[in-house]
Structure 1
Amino acid sequence: MLEMINRHLFSTHLLHVSQPTMVARYNRALEALCGKTVNLTELHIDASGYSPEVAQILGEDYLDQGGTNKRFIILSVDQIHLQLMDPSFTSNGDVIKSFIKDNIDALTTLTAMDAVYGELVNNLYVVTDVDDILNLRKVSVDIDTPKKLLTKGEKLLKMSQSTVQDNDHWQSDDYLNEMTELAKELGDVRVNAMMPTHTDYELRNLFTSHFGGLYVFRETPKTGILGKPAVIHLDEVPATDIPVNWIDGHDPSAVFKFLQTEGFISKLADNQMSARLEQFELKQRHILMEHLSLSSDLKFDEVSDYDLRSAILENHDSLPEHFHQLNDMIHSVANGFYDDAQEIGPYNYKISSGKKARAHKALVNHLVVRYTPMSLLRKFVFNYDLFKQEFTSWPKEHREYVVKYITDCSAYITEMRS
């Protein structure tokens, strides 16, 4: 990952922290959370404050002991625009960003003076069985700062209220001096928003990396019954006595049918397929370039369309099945005989425009990119963990090709995330 950071590949994923004051604030928050500090002059952080550079020193789980993503650090409210890099639960990123949005004024005030650190409180510290996940419904956010600004702010607010209610406080120099010192540090807490007002959240649909990967959908009125979640499993079905509508994640047809029935995705019409023809051809090129990187000495910076067509002829029988499937679809769309009656699948879907689908766009994309091998941008934006696994397995030549492609598409990546 650090290689990609050094190439500025993660300008839309991570916040660069280089000012000595901000690095020092991060260290103080880190010490408050973990009891440790790091000797760094700069670092990058995601929405939760996780830093790849710090992880190299303290370990990948320094904010995620027990695999529940409970702890976080906020240096700037701009973290609301970032993603979580490797979440054990995608819902935690949703909660952190909702918390920032709902308390933007208070967090703006706090981060102007100090770092904010906190924890997602749900009484789940270690996941032992799938029931721990299925019963996870609510979470609250508990925060403070290394300077204890919230504790001091709450104290000052109570003291100021007491002076109105109890005239004896006006006679105490010690009491008034303490108020004055707190006010010098915090300002007028009656006017300056400092205390978060929204700290409780419901957990609805989510992905967890536990048990080989589970997508939990609680809002499934069309395919399930009230109180019975639909769960897409990527590994064996874990044992539970809780009623669950299990969907095999290795059956793309079942997954896409579920998403379509529940209104998360819809099928592209004939004219929409034609409009995406150029995108399909680009995905086909990605598949071919990956294959050639494994089996050819072709120089990626010198390859021409003629070279690619020749490579298809020379490697036709060894190309992966999804290349041929995509090629057949491109051929049918380009020549006007695409059958739009076929089932919805990896290349003829779109995220629906309804409120429910928009609310869970990131989660749905996180899921469907598992079935579209060369949706590089979508995978990079919505399922970075999967992208990283694939990226590290590629030869250097193909990594170079992908890095250049993603870098060239930085504006489109920003648009995708909006």
Structure 2
Amino acid sequence: MKRLIEKGLMFGNLIRVNSTAWVALYNRALKKVTGKETALTEFHIDISGYSPEIGDELDDMDYLRPDGGNRQFILLTTEQKTAPLLNADLSVLRDVLRAFITENESQLFSLTARDAVLGEIDDQVWQFSGPADLAAIRHLTISADTTGNHVAEADRLTALIERFRTEPDGWWDDVLIAEMIEQAKKTGDVVRNPVHLQQTGFDVQDFWTSDFGGVYVIRSAKQPAMIFSDPKAHIDLPGFQTMTTLQVNQIAAWLARNALAEPIASARGADAAPILRQKIDFILVDAATRLGIDTGSGTRAELRRAAARMGAQLPSEIRGLSALLRYSEQGGDWPVIDSADPAYFYAIRATPGPARELINRLLSELGPSDVRQLFITHKPLFYRLYQTWSEPKQAYVAEFLAREYQIDKQGTRDALFGPEPGMAEPEVTARAAPAGPWGSARARLSEGAARPPVTPPWGFSR
């Protein structure tokens, strides 16, 4: 993992804490959460205030989630909103924290100028006794205050001021006025400088959790589904279609029925050929390193020579992706590829919509040889698999990501998955039922594709 850290692919973009004042503020908050303090004089924190160095020091890499309860967070600065979230057990946590900081930035800026802000993200589920309890996660609530309770004290003064303004005898209530003056000594002028946090509740439709071996909960689809990475955790649940990641045909059919995926080759705005060619490279690197075939510096020419030496051991995904690549570059008939083909999940991406990021995460788990997509969409799985790879593959992947992805993260994401959706709700347009996630060739022709109509591309998901 040292190679990833050195190249900024792990623990990157963290906030550096190296001042005596910040360390003291952090220790005050840490004492409240864990009852312990750090002896470190310099460390780094993520968006939630979690520090891998302190986790190592305390021998507790989950110290901001004591006893497996709700996730706690410590804010020293609003600049934490740009940092990643480490040890994320719920995929939406970073988005929720970032939205909370953004919506309350001016208030949090004032609060963190004098104290650390300590908070909790409450999923309103007391205990997870089994996967069925995940369906109860529909809303996350954030409660936050400084270690000196500035928000609570300000709320109390605001309530006293309201009594003074509305009660008929407030002007003559010496006890009330004295109480207001005393409270103002603690909080300052909350009329001119109000201290009140907005937007502390967030609705959650779709999420992935690391609990129970990894579970995808997707409620925004027309047919809600729960997909389990661990077959042993699989259960039937009313209101959900439940599947495991081993049931690839069922997942493909569900994606098609709900129009959640589309072929890269016909996705609007996608430059399919370079994407498919790179996916082939990744699969060849994986196969070559497993077979002990030298790939040199990993150039495309060297990978093609390595592929020629594989013979019958050439990965089966290559045939389908190569056929699709030829179609993208030369046209002709659509290759017939269905969900039984190993290339299937490498050749599709999520369609725009509320579940897009989660579907792309699911596709990366179903096609883990595409290490770039795996790194972008599913870092917990990427880091876990990275430790199992051979040294040559680790070196190739780290060098590629540092060279090709780190220099233009947003541009790469846009090229692979399409541009980020706007703030407006996506328009729902009438559409004929697609033949698999690919739609029909005739429908694509009506959108301007200059290719002859053929039988439905890629066949039907069985």
> Which residue is 2:442 aligned to?
none
Partners of 1:352 and 1:240 lie apart in 2 by 27
Structure 1 residue aligned with 2:260, among 264, 271, 284?
A: 264
CA deviation profile, 1:219-249 (whole Å, cap 9, x unmatched):
333x3xxxxx421122235446644321332
- Give the deviation of 1:305 after TM superposition: 4.1
CA distance in 1: counterparts of 2:184 and 2:239, whole angstroms = 59
> For residues 32 and 193 of structure 1, do their structure 2 counterparts lie closer, same or farther at Cα, with a shift above 3 Å needed?
same
DSSP 3-state at the match of 1:257: helix
1:308 to 303, 309, 313: 303
Superposed displacement of residue 140, structure 1: 1.9
SS in 1 for 2:321: helix
Give the superposition deviation at 1:273: 9.7
**Other structure's SS at 1:118 match:** strand
- Corresponding residue number in structure 1 for 2:251: 255
- RMSD (Å), alpha carbons: 3.3
Identity %: 24
1:388 Cα deviation after fit:
0.3
Instruction: Sort the Cα spacing of 1:75 and 1:2 in 2 relative to 1 into closer, same or farther, 3 A.
Output: farther
**Displacement of 1:67 after TM fit?**
4.2
Quote the residue 1:178 is aligned against.
182
Q: Per the alignment, in what secondary structure is the counterpart of residue 113 of structure 1?
A: coil
- Can you list the C-alpha shifts for 1:287-343, whole angstroms capped at 9, x where unaligned? 22233334437475x454443222111123334333444334334434433516755
| TM-fit CA distance, 1:132 | 1.7
Q: CA deviation at 1:280?
A: 1.6
Contact 1:273–1:333 (CA under 8 A) maintained in structure 2:
no
Unmatched tracts of structure 1, length 5 or more: 224-228
Larger deviation, residues 168-177 vs 113-122: 168-177
Aligned match of 1:105: 106
Q: What is the match of residue 403 of structure 1?
A: 398
In structure 2, what is the Cα distance between the partners aligned to 1:64 and 1:46?
14
2:43 is equivalent to residue 43 of structure 1: yes
Instruction: Rate the CA distance shift 1:259–1:110 in 2: closer, same or farther, 3 A.
Output: farther
**Structure 1 residues 368 and 18, CA, compared in 2 at 3 Å: closer, same or farther?**
farther
For 1:322, the aligned partner's letter is: E
Unmatched 5+ residue regions in structure 2? Answer: 415-419, 421-462
> Could you tell me which residue of structure 1 aligns to residue 275 of structure 2?
279
In structure 2, how many angstroms separate the alpha carbons of the residues matched to 1:24 and 1:4? Answer: 30
Q: 1:390 aligns with which of 362, 385, 393?
A: 385
Q: Structure 1-normalised TM-score? A: 0.83
Tell me which amino acid in the other structure corresponds to 2:90.
F
Aligned to 1:346: 345
TM-score w.r.t. length of structure 2: 0.75
Is 1:289 the counterpart of 2:285? The answer is yes
Determine whether 1:365 maps to 2:369: no
The number of residues matched between the two structures is 404
Give the whole-Å Cα distance in 1 for the aligned partners of 2:92 and 2:161: 38
Q: C-alpha displacement at 1:160, in angstroms? A: 4.6
Counterparts of residues 9-158 of structure 1 (less than 5 Å): 9-10=9-10, 14-58=14-58, 59-67=60-68, 69-158=70-159
Going from structure 1 to structure 2, the CA distance change for 1:57 and 1:235 (only over 3 Å counts) comes to same
Residue 206 in structure 1 maps to residue 214 in structure 2: no
Structure-1 separation of matches of 2:33 and 2:329: 57
CA displacement at 1:386 relative to structure 2: 0.5
